[in-house]
Amino acid sequence: MPNIHHISPDPITYEVLKSLLNTDCQLALSEDSRSAIANCRSYLDEKMENPDELIYGINTGFGSLCNIKISPDQIEQLQENLVMSHACGVGAQVPDIISRLILLLKIQSLSYGHSGVSVATVERLIAFFNKGILPVIYDEGSLGASGDLAPLAHMSLPILGMGEVMYQGKKQPTSEVLNQVGMFPQKLQSKEGLALLNGTQFMGAYGVFNVVNGKRLNNLADLIATFSLDAWLCLDEPFNPLIQKLRNQPGQLTTAENILNYWKDSEILNEHKHQVQDPYSFRCIPQVHGASRDALNHVENVFLNEINSVTDNPNVFAKEDLVLSGGNFHGQPLALALDYMSMAIAELGSISERRVYRMLSGSRGLPEFLIEDTGLNSGLMIPQYTAASLVSKNKQLCTPSSVDSVPSSNEQEDHVSMGANGAVKCYQVVKNVEKILAIEFMTACQALDFRKPLKSSPMVNSIFNDYREVVSFNNKDRVLYDDIQKTIEYINAIRFPLT
């Protein structure tokens, strides 16, 4: 039997999110959420019995057309038109895991009973999630301000039987998939199209993915750096807790502690060293990795607040007899956090590439480019080029999106967050740093082979031996693309915490 998570007023945690993304996990509405949604919809229906009262997006046009009244017999068509006209995303198709997260976060936001949607509409989104019917969404087109309008319109098209979905591993027309599973298109009632399209769930889904994977990369960076520290015969003095306590930065303390735990009982560490100090890329690992760790902890809290909130407009307050038009859809909190997160994650790759460069330099008893018979063999020369290229690309991607704004909707929407662009860029940074760390890991393991018969710590040596079952020692030139791809897969399979 699949695990069932009941959507409720209780906050979703990152632990719950991770479990919900397993394919066998299903959603269901709790009675509290079902009642909140139904009561809000009932209130709105009563409110609509007074046709003379203008309520934005319910019986008016949208954006700068907010003063145009819509007749009662056109209200359903208004919502359908909204979804169709706003589904103009372009660019690459959003990864399936992000589409799944978008559905989940939209369901949670609608479940609080302040959006005016029907229970049936929320149930349809839940059915898509449970059956693995994932709307095809594109990653360009949102300004991150009036909600993620274009991507959420693509998310909403399948409710109407329109657009395309991913189902059973294939992109298919929604109409065909609905026929396969015995479902029919639905009509949208007043406010429903607006509630579906207004919101920060595109930014939120990317943000959650980037936070979870950014923190995983931070842990990987600590572990892989430990391999490099022994590979390049580094000193452990900079990791002494006495130094870390003088500064008292939480991330720095954690990073130094992690590395000392991973490094414990290393034979190589106990060898006599001739240098007085190591370069910053080794000596300042606690400070650099630690700063990224603190940044990610801050960003994690921003997104935790966001995914447990209501971000459409207007907001319906049935108990207070109010429908209030505001700006909860504006993505500024997320836009700033996404830019910050991009920089924090990119720095893990930047310092990693410098360690790769040092290990290939032909110093500290290692052969140049970590290969025998250099000249005939180039060894690991070019993976460092690849890492350097990715580091440079990340610098370009880390140009902040949130400092830009282009007015839209005839100046009604005159300041936008551009957080959606920041979200996609941050995702690319995550993927790039994953590759850079894999190159460092591959390089450090190659260097450690030249330290034999000395061994690193029991933990490092155990992982090293396991990895050598996947990627063998490089004794002469071969196609390194294969090694890099296998290494990416290998480090992605490492789970934390390590003991």
Least confident range from 42-56, 318-332, 382-396: namely: 42-56
Which overall architecture, per CATH, does domain 4-199 show? Orthogonal Bundle (1.10)
**Higher pLDDT, residue 300 or 46:** 300
Q: What pLDDT is attached to residue 48?
A: 80
Q: Which of 195, 206, 10 is nearest to 100 (CA)?
A: 206
Mean per-residue pLDDT, 16-24: 83
Give the span between the Cα atoms of 447 and 443, in whole angstroms: 6
- DSSP states of 369-387 as a string? GG-SSBTTB-TTHHHHHHH
Q: What is the mean pLDDT of the chain?
A: 94
Give the span between the Cα atoms of 369 and 242, in whole angstroms: 36
State the Cα angle at 112 between 111 and 115, rounded to 5°. Answer: 85
- Would you name the residues annotated as active-site residues? 56
Which CA distances in Å does 31 have to 20, 35, 239, 412, 420?
19, 6, 53, 39, 33
Question: Is 80 exceeded by the pLDDT of residue 182?
Answer: yes
| Residue 146: band (very low, low, confident or very high) from pLDDT cuts 50, 70, 90 | confident
Q: What pLDDT is attached to residue 65?
A: 64
Mean per-residue pLDDT, 208-237: 97
Percent helix, percent strand, percent coil in the chain, to nearest 5:
55, 10, 35
Contact 140, 427 (CB under 8 A): no
| Residue 133: band (very low, low, confident or very high) from pLDDT cuts 50, 70, 90 | very high
Task: Name the strand (E) or helix (H) holding 120.
Answer: helix 119-131
Instruction: Name 337's Cβ contacts closer than 8 Å, sequence gap at least 6.
Output: 207, 298, 299, 302, 303
Question: Is 80 exceeded by the pLDDT of residue 68?
Answer: no
Least confident range from 46-50, 366-370, 391-395: namely: 46-50
| Residue 66: band (very low, low, confident or very high) from pLDDT cuts 50, 70, 90 | low
Contact 303, 200 (CB under 8 A): no
Which two structure tokens, joined as six digits, stand for 262? 């991973």
Strands 315-317 and 170-173 turn out to be unpaired
Q: What pLDDT is attached to residue 199?
A: 95
Least confident range from 257-261, 354-358, 414-418, 445-449: namely: 414-418
Question: Is 90 exceeded by the pLDDT of residue 473?
Answer: yes
Which residues lie across from 322 on neighbouring strands? 317
- What does the domain layout of the chain look like in residue ranges? 4-199, 206-493
Which CA distances in Å does 366 have to 210, 275, 405?
36, 15, 51
Question: Is 70 exceeded by the pLDDT of residue 274?
Answer: yes
Question: Is 70 exceeded by the pLDDT of residue 61?
Answer: no
DSSP 8-state code for residue 139: E
Common-topology check for domains 4-199 and 206-493: no
Give the class (CATH, top level) of 206-493.
mainly alpha
| Residue 213: band (very low, low, confident or very high) from pLDDT cuts 50, 70, 90 | very high
Give the span between the Cα atoms of 280 and 61, in whole angstroms: 58
Q: What is the CA radius of gyration of the chain?
A: 26
Q: What are phi and psi of 290, to 5 degrees?
A: -65, -40
Mean per-residue pLDDT, 202-210: 97
Instruction: Name 200's Cβ contacts closer than 8 Å, sequence gap at least 6.
Output: 144, 147, 148, 306, 311, 329, 331, 334, 419
Percent of the chain at pLDDT > 70 equals 97
Q: Which of 462, 486, 463 is nearest to 474 (CA)?
A: 486
Question: Is 70 exceeded by the pLDDT of residue 62?
Answer: no
